[in-house]
Amino acid sequence: MTAPNFGSPTTALCRLLAYAGLTLVLMPIQLLAVTLGWPLRKRLPQWYHRRTCRILGIQVERQGRPSRRHPTLYVANHVSYLDIEVLGAILKASFVAKSEVATWPFFSWLAKLQETVFVERRVHRAAEHRDEMARRLEAGDDLILFAEGTSGDGNEVLPFKSALFSVAERRPHDKPLNVQPVSIAYTRLDGLPLGRYLRPFFAWYGDMELGNHLWHAISLGRVTVVVEFHEPVSLAQFASRKALSDYCYEVVSRGVAAALSGRPQPPLPQPAPAAGAQGAAPTASPAV
C-alpha cells in the first residue's frame, strides 16, 4: 500500500534539511543530559518536538488537559510516526515502543535519547517488559502507550491489546496507577477536512515504506492534529485488566470519531470502584 503521490518536493526538502539540522545539533546535548541524569533530559525533548512540529507543518489542537498526577500511563491510539512529535510536544513523557524500533537506523537513536521503553510481542518476555515499565513508573516517569500494538489508517481505532495494560496492576508508591486515555485524529490539511483519500498521507500502516511515506507527508501544507485528553481512571475502578482496556478503547474511539466528524459524542459515565477489583481501595476515585 502506498500513499497518493502529490505535494511539493521543495517544501519537503526544506523541511527535511531544517529538521536534520535541529536534530543533529540537539542530539549530543540530550545524550549528555541522559548520561548525567540532568533534569534537562525531560525538558529538552518537549522543546524539540514543539520545534519539529513547526518545521514539519503540524498544528496541534489540544482538548482537555493532561493529568497532573505522576506517574501517569497515557493510553493512546496510533496513526503515524508523527504521533511521536505530536504527543512529545505536549507531554514530558517517554514512549513505549515495539522492540523493532530499536533496530531502525537513526530513529532508534532518537528513541533511546528519549528513554523509550522497548517491548517485544513474544509472550514469554511480557513479564520482563512489564517490570521495566513498572520500574520507570515507580521512579516517577510518565509513559505513553500505543494500546493497539500497531498503527491504523486513522479512520477508526483498532481493538486495544489488554496484555499491554498489565503494568496497570502495579501500584507505584502503593497507589493505583493513573491511566489517562488519549485520542489522536488527523483532521485537516491547510484548513480543509481530510477525507479517506488524503488521510493515508499521514496515517502510516500496512506495508507502506517509511522513507517514501515520510517524504510525501512533509511535502504537503499544514496538517491539523486534534489530541483529546480524557478523564483519567485506574484499575481500581474496574473488575479486571480487560475491563480497563475495553473502557479506554471505547473512550478513545469516541474521541477520534468526534474529531473526524466534528460532532461531539456523549461521554461515557465515569466508572465507580469495582468490588473485588485488582488493586482496589475503598476510597479510590479517578485522578484529575
Instruction: Kindly state whether residue 127 falls inside one of the protein's structural domains.
Output: yes
Query: What is the structure's pLDDT at 280?
Result: 44
Closest C-alpha to 249, from 202, 191, 178, 179: 179
Question: In the chain, how many H helices and how many E strands?
Answer: 7, 8
Predicted pLDDT of residue 282: 33
* Domain membership flag for residue 91: yes
| Angstrom distance (rounded) from CA 191 to CA 171 | 44
Contact call for residues 81 and 214 (beta carbons, < 8 A): yes
Angle at 235 between CA 259 and CA 134, to 5 degrees: 100
Residue 110 CA to residue 116 CA, distance in Å, equals 9
Residue 50 lies in a domain: yes
Range of the domain at 41: 9-261
Q: Dihedral angle at the C-alpha atoms of 187, 112, 178, 164, nearest 10 degrees?
A: 80
Q: CATH number for the domain including 232?
A: 3.40.1130
With respect to residue 277, please indicate whether it lies within any of the assigned structural domains: no
Q: 0.85 cut: is pTM over it?
A: yes
Residue 33 lies in a domain: yes
DSSP string, 138-185: HTT--EEEETTSS---SSSPPPP-GGGGGGGGS-GGGSPPEEEEEEEE
In a domain? residue 240? yes
Domain assignment of residue 203, yes or no: yes
Q: Would you state the pLDDT for residue 180?
A: 98
Q: How many domains are there within the chain?
A: 1
Q: Would you put residue 149 in left (φ > 0), alpha (ψ -120 to 50) or beta?
A: left
Q: Could you read off the pLDDT tens digit of each residue along the chain, which spans 288 residues?
A: 444 456 899 999 999 999 999 999 999 999 999 999 999 999 999 999 999 999 999 999 999 999 999 999 999 999 999 999 999 999 999 999 988 888 888 889 999 999 999 987 665 566 667 788 999 999 999 999 999 988 988 899 999 999 889 899 988 888 999 999 999 999 999 999 998 788 888 999 988 898 999 999 999 999 999 999 999 999 999 999 999 999 999 999 999 999 999 888 777 887 876 555 544 433 333 332
In a domain, 283, yes or no: no
